[in-house]
Chain A
Amino acid sequence: MGTLGRAIFTVGKWIRGTGQAMDRLGSTIQGGLRVEEQVSRHRTIMNIFEKEPRIHRDVFVAPSAAVIGDVEIGHGSSIWYGSILRGDVNSIHIGSGTNIQDNSLVHVAKTNFSGKVLPTIIGSNVTVGHSAVLHACTIEDEAFVGMGATLLDGVVIEKHSMVGAGSLVKQNTRIPSGEVWVGNPAKFLRKLTEEEIVFIAQSATNYINLAQVHAAENAKSFDEIELEKMLRKKYAHKDEEYDSMLGVVREIPPELILPDNILPHNARKAVAR
């Protein structure tokens, strides 16, 4: 660094020092009401004594999610923002390719009225919608739990069935294969058509791809985040659609390109197939 550079750096350092001194002055003036922000103590993956979550390496666990206790998650699954998987009093098994969407709660029972001790077992390629509450239930492969659904103790959801949004499935209900149950309390509505069953599998695949995007984004280091912020600012004025109208092809930096498989035209092609 030349002398000029060094001088500018020192001036910047003085300004920062002044700023920090003013911050301390302001905090003193605020006195008891001031807030000192603390580093986040949230632990994404947490043991309860010896019970340890066993999570496959390519599972996306959102940083704001909490996976606690005796939980086992298979490959390709995803645990989205704000969900809580609490395997503290019993165990939770989640298969591969399953997605537990945002703000859901998966818990287990140590005892319940009937005396059976129930772990929560969720199969593979299951879609659990936003804000669902799953308590000591068993969900078999390729089922679909709608958003906001509440599944109480001992519920068994068989393969290829769907629980509608907002339903409350009462204790020990068994939802047979290929059926849609809706409502509070949940009752049989209709049977699932063939394409809806295909859609369930497709939605699980879509979420696996989407989870990779989110996983990559949340795993970035501080330097990568800052670099991309700068790149985004640089490319902010260049709108792709406007460019394509003019016939201009601009190179978007690779860091800013999302993988193709989450884009709608690709997914629709896959469904139509």
Chain B
Amino acid sequence: MAAASLARLSRRATTSAAAAAPSFRRLLSATSTAPAAASAPPPPPSAAAAAAVGADRVRWDYRGQRQLVPLGQWMPKVAVDAYVAPEAVLAGQVTVHDGASVWSGAVLRGDLNKITLGFCASVQERCVLHAAWAAPTGLPAETLVDRYVTVGAYCLLRSCTIEPECIIGQHSILMEGSLVETNSILEAGSVLPPGRRIPTSELWAGSPARFVRKLTNEEIMEIPKLATAINDLMQSHFSEFLPYSNAYLEVEKLKKSFSIPL
């Protein structure tokens, strides 16, 4: 009886878009109150009722959000000494090379095109890196963050190329097809319109971004130093985490307390 209702629940879950992982309460209800669970299911297919549906949606999935979300054949690749925060989301074709770091809340969505983070690059908190299918420039629309680039917090990068050793200020927006050449700095809060190019060793700011001044040699030397400093900082965050999470210990404890067979 319990098995039948469980089978019905799982069949419904795999065909609908609702999350398949059962919450503990539902597991409990499936095993103990089987008739109630059996009568809960699919609502009448009328359009009016459909809008109010949601009773069977999983509200709490103890697994949380996966950090690396594969799509089809693409699996995000993270180098062994790169740090990806547990709250970050990498989906699709994303490659994070050595020494790079992706901080909390960042979303790197390589579902339509590639996203690459080079050596010692860092994507700070709450950034969104996405790639469109096609860029207005006609060049490949992948998002490439080359080596020693620091992308500040809350940036939005879409199908842009950032050449080695740059700094992108916080909360800036780089639109499709934009190119930031080597050794340049983009100030915080700037917006790069689609297809805009920032030449080497220049400082640009504003929305839309405009040329401010050329960078001095000392400032250019500082850029990879910042990236390395963030790398050092990243090491201390990295060492806080074990290679594999031991959240499963709490799950086992909870299951034991709910008397659900392990």
Nearest residue (CB) in A for B194 is A165
Tell me how far the C-beta of B9 lies from the nearest C-beta in chain A, rounded to whole angstroms: 12
Q: Is the CB of B21 within 8 A of A221?
A: yes
Q: Is A89 an interface residue (CB 8 A)?
A: no
Interfacial chain A residues near B112, Cβ < 8 Å: 210, 262, 264
Other than the given A36-B249, A81-B65, A222-B21, 9 more pairs (CB < 8 A) read A39-B251, A44-B60, A44-B61, A56-B51, A62-B65, A81-B107, A102-B128, A229-B70, A262-B111
Q: Is the CB of B62 within 8 A of A40?
A: yes
Interfacial chain A residues near B173, Cβ < 8 Å: 147-148, 165-166
- Quick one: given A44-B60, A56-B50, are A38 and B156 in contact (CB under 8 Å)? no
Interfacial chain A residues near B65, Cβ < 8 Å: 40, 42, 62-64, 81, 218
CB-contacts of B210-262 with A (<8 A): 240, 242, 245-247, 249-251, 254
Interfacial chain A residues near B60, Cβ < 8 Å: 42-44
Q: Is A59 an interface residue (CB 8 A)?
A: yes
Q: Is the CB of A57 within 8 A of B73?
A: no
Q: Is B19 an interface residue (CB 8 A)?
A: yes
Q: Is the CB of A183 within 8 A of B207?
A: yes
Chain A positions near chain B (C-beta within 8 angstroms) = 23, 35-40, 42-46, 52-64, 72, 74-75, 80-82, 101-103, 129-131, 147-148, 165-166, 183-184, 210, 212-222, 225, 228-229, 232, 235, 252, 256-258, 262, 264, 267-268
Q: Is the CB of A219 within 8 A of B111?
A: no
Tell me how far the C-beta of A47 lies from the nearest C-beta in chain B, rounded to whole angstroms: 8
Question: Chain A: interface secondary structure?
Answer: loop
Q: Is the CB of A257 within 8 A of B72?
A: yes
Give Cα A220–Cα B18 distance, bound, in whole angstroms. 10
CB-contacts of B126-149 with A (<8 A): 126, 128, 130, 133-134
Question: Which are the 9 A-B pairs with shortest beta-carbon distances?
Answer: A40-B64, A258-B72, A64-B65, A63-B65, A264-B133, A130-B128, A166-B191, A102-B107, A215-B17
Once A and B bind, how many residue pairs between them come within 8 Å at the CB atom? 184
Q: Is the CB of B105 within 8 A of A82?
A: yes
Give Cα A63–Cα B59 distance, bound, in whole angstroms. 9
Identify B18's interface contact among A57, A131, A217, CB under 8 A: A57
Give Cα A18–Cα B112 distance, bound, in whole angstroms. 45
Q: Is the CB of A55 within 8 A of B89?
A: no
Q: Is B58 an interface residue (CB 8 A)?
A: yes
Interfacial chain A residues near B25, Cβ < 8 Å: none
Q: Is the CB of B50 within 8 A of A165?
A: no
Give Cα A55–Cα B154 distance, bound, in whole angstroms. 28
